[in-house]
């Protein structure tokens, strides 16, 4: 059985990202590595532990082009973490307001979510309650994907 272990993404400013993920998001920096040749760039890797397991890994590549997160629709790519209960989202609202971080909220029916951006424009989501994936493959999901693949963009939306 697979479960998410970690996500890795580039950042422009290790100092700003360290402060954001440590002080605003509240994650613990548990490890850091550095080297001088990752795709011809010197690099720093910062590893933050997620409560309950898993990691967020940030990589600064010296001299590399800036990540282009801001060029996509802001929620087309994001990283979601979960809180155990919707009531915990109030703490996140307060934490983000106190840090001066703008956020938006969405009601997904069974889940409520708060979205916000890190200093590079990476969108983070805190959702509650946690997602509970289905135990078996959904025929509806397979049919939706097949329509998309067979008909191209928009085919799944009559």
Second CATH level (architecture) for the domain 1-64: Roll (3.10)
- Give domain 75-158's CATH superfamily: 2,3-Dihydroxybiphenyl 1,2-Dioxygenase, domain 1 (3.10.180.10)
Closest Cα partner for 53 from 33, 77, 92, 81? 81
Q: How would you write the pLDDT of the chain (158 residues) with one tens digit per residue?
A: 557 778 988 988 999 999 999 999 999 999 999 988 888 988 999 999 998 888 999 999 999 987 776 676 777 678 889 898 999 999 999 999 999 999 999 998 889 999 999 998 888 999 999 877 655 667 777 777 777 778 755 554 44
Q: What is the pTM of this model?
A: 0.75
**What per-residue confidence (pLDDT) applies to 72?**
67
Find the DSSP H helices in the chain. 14-19, 89-98, 139-151
Q: What is the pLDDT of residue 110?
A: 86
Q: What are the structural domain ranges in the chain?
A: 1-64, 75-158
For residue 40, list its beta bridge partners. Answer: none
């Amino acid at each position: 059985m697979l479960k998410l272990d970690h996500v890795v993404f580039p950042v422009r400013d290790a100092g700003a990202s360290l402060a954001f993920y440590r002080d605003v998001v509240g994650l613990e920096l548990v490890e850091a590595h550095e080297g001088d040749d990752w795709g011809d760039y010197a690099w720093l890797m910062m590893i933050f532990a997620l409560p309950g397991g898993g990691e967020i890994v940030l990589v600064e590549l010296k001299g590399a082009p800036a990540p282009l997160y801001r060029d996509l629709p802001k929620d087309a790519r994001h990283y979601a973490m979960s809180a155990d209960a919707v009531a915990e989202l109030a703490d996140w609202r307060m934490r983000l307001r106190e840090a001066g971080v703008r956020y938006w909220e969405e009601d997904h029916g069974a889940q409520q979510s708060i979205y916000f951006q890190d200093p590079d424009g990476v969108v983070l989501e805190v959702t509650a309650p946690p997602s509970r994936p289905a135990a078996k493959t959904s025929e509806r999901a397979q049919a939706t994907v097949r329509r998309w693949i067979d008909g191209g963009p928009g085919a799944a939306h009559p």
